[in-house]
Amino acid sequence: MNHKGCFLAGAILLLAALLALGVFTITAGHFLTTVDAFSQADAIVVLGGDGGNFFRVQQGVDLFNEGHAPVVVFSGGVSLKDAGLACSSAQLSLEAAQELGLPTGAAIIASGAQSTYDEAVNLSRLAQQHRWQSLIVVTDLFHTRRAARTFRTLLPDTTIYLSAAPDPNVDANRWWQTEEGLVAVFNEVLKLVFYWARYGIAPIG
């Protein structure tokens, strides 16, 4: 191949790479997003791992106050260990929810989970115990697809609805414009691949 041919091939590859990057940029945020319409469910599940901003907790309490379910489950594992003391993110979320006015009798703790997969396993047991047939799962916008695929795989007999907690730093249309959006999208893409390889949970199904 002569120099002109090499240059042309290189230009085509560069153009293809730029096109692929553009398509990824435009579609990634929306691909990761799975938000459902719902009215009533047996329980609201607030997933752990919100980083301490409690956007998920606020969304869970709002949904409870709107009458979408009679109980809120707070999920999550140990987030703090110091001098032999341990506090789960589920417990921290419960305390935040109570400060927002959630009645004590309307809350259930589901601690001991260190991943979305663990949370789905825990909720599978709870759903069987309480005979729940439908759940509203509250999490971050870009976590909704992985959460939906995981919960629907592990709780096949339970109707799963996804609700995204509003976050002013995350926008599916302009996710690349903030550090939070960049981190969230690339982390979720990697985790979707990992869940497919490790658990056989495909991103689409």
Domain 43-166+176-199 has CATH 3.40.50.620: yes
Prediction pTM value: 0.85
pLDDT of the residue at 173 = 87
- 103 by DSSP, 3-state: which? coil
Q: How far apart are the first and last CA of the chain?
A: 45
Phi-psi region of 118 (alpha: psi -120 to 50; beta: other; left: phi over 0): alpha
Asked if residues 148 and 137 have their Cβ atoms less than 8 Å apart, the reply is: yes
Asked if residues 52 and 72 have their Cβ atoms less than 8 Å apart, the reply is: no
pLDDT of the residue at 86 = 58
- Describe the strand order of the beta sheet including 72-76 as a list of residue ranges: 107-111, 72-76, 43-46, 134-139, 159-164
Which residues lie across from 75 on neighbouring strands? 110
Alpha-carbon distances, residue 149 vs 18, 21, 77 (angstroms): 30, 25, 20
pLDDT of the residue at 130 = 97
- 44 by DSSP, 3-state: which? strand
pLDDT of the residue at 6 = 58
Where in 122-167 does DSSP place strands (E)?
Answer: 134-139, 159-164
pLDDT of the residue at 18 = 34
pLDDT of the residue at 4 = 54
Residues of the chain below pLDDT 70: 1-27, 78-87
How many angstroms separate the CA atoms of 112 and 16, rounded? 46
pLDDT of the residue at 133 = 98
Alpha-carbon distances, residue 46 vs 18, 91, 99, 179 (angstroms): 38, 11, 16, 24
The structure tokens listed for 134 are 């439908």
The full set of domain ranges for the chain reads 1-31, 43-166+176-199
